[in-house]
Amino acid sequence: MRKFANVFLILFFADGFLSVLDEISSLFGPVEPLSLFRMQVASTVLFFAVLLYLCMWVDRRIPKRLFIPLIVFPFAVPMLAWLIPALGESRLYSILMSLIQVGVPPLLIAQYRDGKEPGLTLPSWRFEGPVFGLKNTLFFTAANVVALPVFLTLFTLSSTDAWANLNTGGFVRVAPGGLYMTERVYKRGSQTVKLSGMIHVGEKGYYEDVTRGPVQGRTIVLAEGVTDRSQVLKNRFDYRKVADFLGLASQEKMLFSGNVIDDKALDAARRPAGKGPDIMLADTDLATFRPETLLFLNQVGKELGSHGSVVDGVLSLNRWAEKNVTPKMYEVIREDILTRRNEVVLSYLDRALKGYDTVVIPWGALHMKGIEAGVKERGFVLKEEKKRLGVDFKTIAEANKK
CB distance 191 to 349 below 8 Å: no
Distance CA 285, CA 142 (A): 57
Return d(Cα 224, Cα 220) in angstroms, integer.
13
Given a cut of 90, whether residue 274 has pLDDT beyond it is no
pLDDT for the residue 214: 62
**Residue 264 confidence (pLDDT) above 70:** yes
φ, ψ at 284 (rounded to 5°): -100, -175
Query: Which tens digit of pLDDT belongs to each residue from 358-373?
Result: 999 999 999 999 999 9
Q: Greater confidence, 257 or 375?
A: 375
What is the Cα–Cα distance from 331 to 342, expressed in whole angstroms?
A: 15
Residue 327 has pLDDT above 70, yes or no: yes
Task: Return the pLDDT at 272.
Answer: 64
pLDDT band at 47 (very low <50, low <70, confident <90, very high): very high
pLDDT at 116: 62
Q: Residue 208's pLDDT is what? A: 86
**Which pTM value belongs to this model?**
0.83
Instruction: Write a three-state SS string for 206-262.
Output: HHHHHHCCCCCCCEEEEECCCECCCCCCCCCCCHHHHHHHHCCEEHHHCCCCCEECC
How confident is the model at residue 402, as a pLDDT?
Answer: 59
Q: Which long-range contacts (CB under 8 A, 24 or more apart) does 327-332 make?
A: 329/292, 329/296, 332/290, 332/292, 332/293
Residues 76-89 have a mean pLDDT of 90
**Angle at Cα 93 formed by Cα 90 and Cα 98, nearest 5°?**
135
Per-residue model confidence (pLDDT) at position 270: 64
As a whole number of angstroms, the distance between CA 110 and CA 52 comes to 20
Question: Would you give the end-to-end CA distance of the chain in angstroms?
Answer: 50
> What sign does the dihedral 96-102-108-110 (CA atoms) show?
negative
Lowest mean pLDDT among 28-37, 225-234, 334-343: 28-37
* Residue ranges in 89-133 assigned as alpha helix (H): 91-110
Percent of the chain scoring above 90 in pLDDT: 61
Task: Give the mean pLDDT of the chain.
Answer: 90
